[in-house]
Every structure is written in structure tokens, then in C-alpha cells.
Amino acid sequence: MPETDLLAALGALVAAQDPPSAALDEAALCLVDTLACILAGRDEDVAVAARRAMASASGPGPARAIGGDARMSLPAAALANGVAAHAIDLDDYEIPGSTHPSAVVLGALLALATTRAATLREVLVAHVAGHEAIVRMGEALGHGHYLAGWHATSTIGPFGAATACPRLLGLGAEATAHALGLAASASAGLKHQFGSDAKPVHAGFAARAGLEAALLAAEGIGAAARLFEGRQGFLALYATPASPGAAAALARGRGETGILVHRPLRKPWPCCAYAHRAVEAAQRIAALPGFAAGDVVRGTIRMGRVPGDGVGGSAAAGPRAP
């Protein structure tokens, strides 16, 4: 794959990445936070159903989803982990791509790690690589991708898992680039699903897709070159006229680690982060002297286009967090 290909360049970048200690510290916080989200969400109906469905569909396998006892395939465990991590919408998020990165990346890595003698550092290094891919893809697409109706967690998310898993598997730059290319063909997810069980399942789909892409690439299966920039490639189909493009994704130097430049943001409340503005505003209003909730007749909330679009919900299912 030519070096001018974004996915090839990204594969080379993350394969050679030697994260600084500050990046590994940030990844460790992501791991603790995501495990907490999985444990908090594992008994939600959608998480229980996902584990049950994946165990039934895959049959006994080498992996186990966090919070469950049933053995299942690696991709099945990745999906179940991703669903549980995003089940109550308490998992972290990042700004450039407007995704929930750790639910996807660690959903896949935690499944893979149950079948390997991986060290904690190896998992953290792999997570840094996955976060790097997500924020760089977000820099290339811009928020227009999200505003167009794509649920970026399940469109950009697969690239994160498809970058992290090859790193944990010890694959090189070329195989990582092929994994990214294969993951691109599994990029999907509509924001019209907000308000339904499909929304947390999107995180599971992305974790599974990225892990499957890595396993396929590890066996020598390749993807097309210039898959991002090609005439019928990812950018042509998923971008908008305002998307910055591949150059924006590669503008940052190799030493500017994505997990430090675009740190994952952790939530104080289990709802869409875009709704936190309204939650905090309500708390401040409630703390005003003489305020009484019974005196409130109606309220009007104004916010920017991206957060407003995110918390607006779908026409079919009604409002819910992205």
C-alpha cells in the first residue's frame, strides 16, 4: 500500500508508536473508567440480551465477555463488551470524531486479552494506538459526518479497534493498514437509532468489526489501497463538503500523541455529554437563592448545532443520549 494512502500512513504511524508515560497513564484511566462502565451496565436488559445472543450465536469459544461466565468467540465477546460499556451512556467520549472511543477499543481489547498472556502495558499501548486512529479519522471527517446522521461511534469506532487489536497481536504496519481497510467496509450506524437498544449495540458492532478485521489481516487477507481517498472510497461516501480531509488527519506530528492532544473526557452523569450543559445549568439555577422547583412553568434550552443535534433524538424513538 503506498505511503500516500491515509490508512497505510496511519498503520505505519501507530505500529511504530512508543507512547510516553503520560499517554499510558491516560490509557490506564480509560481502562479503569471503562471497566467501571461495563460493571455498571452489565445487568441492563440490552447487555444481558447481547451476552446471551452472542453466546448462542457463536457457541463455546476461547473468550468471555466481562461480567459473564459463558464462553464465546472473540468477536462475540467484543460485541458483548462494547454493548455493556455503552449501556448506560456513562462511558468516555472525544471531541474530533464525536465518538465514545474507549467502549469500542477496550471492548475489543478486553475480549482479545482474555485469550492471550498480555501484559497491562501491552493493553495500554494498544489502547493508545486505537484512540490515535479514532481522533485522526475524526480530524479528517469533521463534525459534518456526525451532523449528516452517522453515529460516529459505530462508523469511526471500527478504525480504533482495527488499530488497537493488531498492536496487541504484534502485527506490523502493513497488516494494520489492511485491518483498517477491512474495518472501513464494516463502518455503519445511523443516529435515527438513538432512543432504542440499537444505540449501545452500535458500540458492540464497532468493537466486533475492528477485532474481526484484525484477525482477518493477521491471516493475510488484504484490503484495497487508497481506500480512504479513492473515487469510491471512504471520504467520498462518508464525508461532507466541509470535511477537512486526509491532510488534516496527518497534520499532527508523530510525537503529538492523540490521547494527550485530544484527551478522552469522562462523565459525571450517565447521559449524553452534550446534555451535560443543560444538567449543569439546571444545578446552578437550583442553587440560586430563593429558587423553588415548583415555581418553574417551562424552560428553554439553547445550545450549538452539534450538541443540539446530538440530544434531539430521532423522530421514531424520541430523545435519548448519543
Encode pLDDT of 132-153 as tens digits: 999 999 999 999 999 999 999 9
Which one, of 116, 103, 211, 119, lies nearest residue 159 by Cα? 211
Which one, of 234, 210, 215, 214, lies nearest residue 224 by Cα? 234
- H/E stretch holding 237 reads helix 234-238
Residues 28-46 pLDDT 10s? 999 999 999 999 999 999 9
Q: What are phi and psi of 260, to 5 degrees?
A: -100, -35
Asked if the model's pLDDT at residue 274 lies above 90, the reply is no
Residue 273: which pLDDT band, with cuts at 50, 70 and 90?
confident
- CB neighbourhood size of 167 (10 A): 24
Asked if the model's pLDDT at residue 299 lies above 60, the reply is yes
Q: What are phi and psi of 150, to 5 degrees?
A: -80, 135
CATH class as words, domain 6-268: mainly alpha
Using only C-alpha atoms, the chain has a radius of gyration, in whole angstroms, of 19
- Which carries the bigger pLDDT value, residue 248 or residue 313? 248
**pTM (2 decimals)?**
0.91
